[in-house]
A and B are shown apart, each in its own frame.
Chain A
Amino acid sequence: MSGSASGAGRSGLSGWVGERLPVQPDKLTAGLNEPVPAHLKAYWYCLGGTPMFLLLVQVVTGILLTFHYRADSAQAYASVERITHDVPYGWWIRSVHHWAAHLMVLTVFLHMVRVFFTGAYRRPRELTWMVGCLVLGLTLLMGFTGYSLIRDQNTYWGVNVASQITSQVPVVGETLRNLLLGGPENGDRTVSRLFVFHIGVLPTLLFLLLGAHLLLVRLHGVADVRRRETGVKTSTYPFFPDHVKTELILAITLTIVLCALAVIFPAPLRAAADPTTTPAHVKPEWYLYFTFRTLKLMGLTAALLVMGAFSFLLFFWPVVDDRIRRKRPGSEVSVWIGCAVVLLLIAFTIWESFA
């Protein structure tokens, strides 16, 4: 058997381990030593690794927060208050979790921008892009559910708006809303329901999809974007340890940025939810401003249709792009559409922030 084969010839601890873990170390190293194109030495080609690192931060800080968080609509806010004011270092853990969430969304956006404009999603990597889109959706949902767990005035009414939108989805709307809120109302069961999504359902899906995303990257190898232009295969260097070192430098930089943000701008805590008083302005987190602005401009149904169409196009963009380029070889229309979408996103977000 391979187990005994890998264990044979070795003595002591490594032999003992080798017998029980029938993996050949050379093969494992070879797997990690995957040669990656030299362009990965430029930092913005390393952006894919940053959300991964931030996810790790979220898992660690998130577990620490669950020690003190009470997933109950009536007690949630008080427990966040306790974490912020009483639990030793609670404010810091909460602030790191808060900022890592924001940075995660930002780095996923930046990673997508890079992949989009360099056309790295093109054949044969369409699936990698599509899985990546699902990861984006899950990241946004993680952000929304996490933020809603605070149960302050803003997030309470945010959940009301979200449930209203959800219930407008054709056919399954009401079922979806009941699933989200734990009933037809944003009430007693809502926080525990959102909590289950935030720490159970969504992370499980996220890890599965990230696994698929990484597996696809590994199977296809990193896209050699320069080769497409020059036709010449670019030089490579080993993933391990060279590229891992680059990612480590990014991780260290991010840790410093996170700590600085957490200390200089601790996560705020607004007034407790008050179901009897509708606040003058209800706003989601910034990464949903784009959707929120669209909603305000078009009304619920039209906005749902537009956002649905946009998500659909984003998801199937590799296929759409392929069609375009087949009809008009060498066309850069993708680049211009991408520019327009990103600029629109920026414009809508800033607009909403001033609304």
Chain B
Amino acid sequence: MTLAQKNWIIAALGLLLVAMLVVVSYREAQSIRHEAEPEAVVTDVNRGCVDCHTVQTPVIAAQWKDSTHGEKGVGCVECHQATEGEPDAFRHEGQWIATIVTPKDCARCHAEIVEEFQGSHHAAAGKILHSLDNVLGEFAEGPAAAANGCWQCHGSEVKLLKDEAGNVLYRDSGAPRFDPMTWPNTGVGRLNLDGTRGSCAACHSRHTFERAVARSPENCGKCHLGPDHPQKEIYDESKHGIAFYTHRHEMNLDSKTWIAGQDYTAAPTCATCHMSATKSQKMTHDPGKRLSWTLRPPVSVRQENYESKREAMQEVCSSCHIRSFYENFYEQFDGAIDLYNNKFAIPGSELMAMLYAKDKLTATPFDDELEWTWFRLWHHEGRRARHGASMQGPDYTQWHGFFEVAENFYGKFIDQVREAADGDEEIIAKLDEILARPEHGWHKGGLPEEMMKRIDEAYRAKYKQSATGER
């Protein structure tokens, strides 16, 4: 063999080696891209579902393919499987399935989480079905308001449509027909046909079930906003919310572990404080575990074991704040709750109790103007003041909160109680006793002349008019 021939062999092998590298690099680049966007694993049992639903419901199929479930091969059947005889089970393309996925289904893989959730206030949100709020929704407003409003957050009691003989009605496809008053519904405390409570999809929107969604404040804002519990709006105006919306892109919301100070430092979200893992606490699906007060009833009460619950929350605070900071914050917050309780809530509830006991009010709620006034005072304005103080929303604490509580109390409530008492000496004596207390004394006794003079001077100096607009 001549040297020239050998040179050709070297050239050919050299080129092949380089070509080999190009192929390997291409495959490497592909695998890295797949790692970044892993492909869904369609197992044999799910192939039929995925093929058909990619055409029939392309969005559901695409969302599932993008999900961690898809990536891990947890497909349609794994979640929607049912057994013959279950109330909503039906035969579909050779499988027994159910349309609604309940916590029982999720528990097949996420048992510990479901168990913890079942013990939470979230899972009990369906209890509204026996509350004043539900009276308003179902009676004062109307059933459609309850179905479209209340139950979409609190959860409906899922029912199947039946004929007069009590037999379940079915669609042509063989699927049972759900009562449209009760489904679709992803209320967090939904009462399911299998006896379980809740819907995991309330927070973990199907069919992507993204961590980022569950950790975003907007997710909680589906329900925690509005006049009676505007937690999301309070968060938005707080320093926490401001930091979040400014630095959202730095929040690492998709991260597998999500510990403040370790995986992100920009801001906390609702999930950070109420649910997420910290350096020493595990993630929880019971958002009440770190709450020392319940601020929902007319009079705020301390939770059972409130000290340990407060310690748990303070441990979260300590991810970002020094001890003196969060301890002083808790004193400020407790001060607001004590003020609300002692000045307005306890006296108000005592007066209402007396009115009911003496039949000055009927047992039917909301049939008297005073009942609307009182409901607004604690259920709307009082909660806004308390929730505002709990999450550092100054405007909700003051103008949407305590201001309206006071306005309502002094402007309407007192007069309406006096009128409802209808001359009952005991009730009127109680009302007068309350109003004679130092914290209410200003209302009847007036403010010192010197103070009024200073206010007038300040207004005139600043606005060239009196505090009442007199020029």
A252 within 8 A of B: no
Interface magnitude class on chain B: 20 to 34
Query: Total number of A-B contacts with CB less than 8 angstroms?
Result: 67
Cα A272 to Cα B272 with chains together (Å): 23
Whether the Cβ atoms of A271 and B6 lie closer than 8 Å is: no
Q: Chain A 276-296 against B: per-residue CB contact (8 Å), 1 yes, 0 no? A: 000001000010010000000
Asked if B32 and A350 sit within 8 Å, CB to CB, the answer is no
* CB-based contact B14/A350 at 8 Å: no
Interface string of B287-313 (1 = CB under 8 A from A): 000000000000000000000000000
Indicate with 1 or 0, residue by residue over A75-106, a CB within 8 angstroms of chain B CB atoms. 00000000000000000000000000010001
> Which residues of B lie under 8 Å from residue A117 when comparing CB positions?
6, 9-10, 13
Q: Is B27 an interface position by the 8 A CB rule?
A: yes
Residues in A whose Cβ lies below 8 Å from that of B31: 281
- Complex Cα distance A102/B2, Å? 32
Minimum CB–CB distance for A260 against chain B, Å: 14
Q: Does A74 contact B (CB under 8 A)?
A: no
Closest to B12 in A: A339
Q: Are A346 and B17 in contact (CB under 8 A)?
A: yes
Contact B14 A110 (CB under 8 A): yes
Given contacts A229-B3, A335-B6, contact A113 B17 (CB under 8 A): yes
Tell me which residues across on chain B come within 8 A of A59, comparing CB atoms: none
Task: Check B17–A110 contact: CB distance below 8 A.
Answer: yes
Interface presence of B455 (CB below 8 A):
no
Known pairs A106-B17, A346-B16; A114 contacts B24 (CB<8 A) = no
A114 with B9: CB separation less than 8 A: no
CA distance A349 to B9 in the complex (A): 20
For residue B13, which residue of chain A has the nearest CB? A342
Within 120-157 of A, Cβ neighbours of B (below 8 Å) are at none
A270 touches B14 (CB 8 A): no
Contact: B21 with A286, CB < 8 Å? yes
Interface contact B3-A353, CB-CB below 8 Å: no
Q: How far is the CA of A117 from the CA of B3 in the complex (A)?
A: 9
Q: A-facing mask of B1-27, CB < 8 A → 1, else 0?
A: 111001101110110111011011101
Chain A residues contacting B1 (CB-CB under 8 Å) are 332, 335
Cα-based distance from A354 to B25 in the complex (angstroms): 11
CA distance A33 to B436 in the complex (A): 112
Query: Roughly how many angstroms separate A343 CA and B16 CA in the complex, as a whole number?
Result: 8
Using CB atoms, name the residue of chain B closest to A289.
B24
Interface residues of B (CB under 8 A from A): 1-3, 6-7, 9-11, 13-14, 16-18, 20-21, 23-25, 27-29, 31-32, 35
Q: List 24 A-B contacts (CB under 8 A).
A: A44-B14, A106-B17, A106-B18, A109-B17, A110-B14, A114-B10, A117-B9, A118-B3, A118-B10, A226-B3, A229-B2, A265-B25, A270-B35, A286-B28, A335-B6, A339-B9, A339-B13, A342-B13, A342-B17, A343-B13, A346-B16, A350-B23, A350-B24, A353-B23
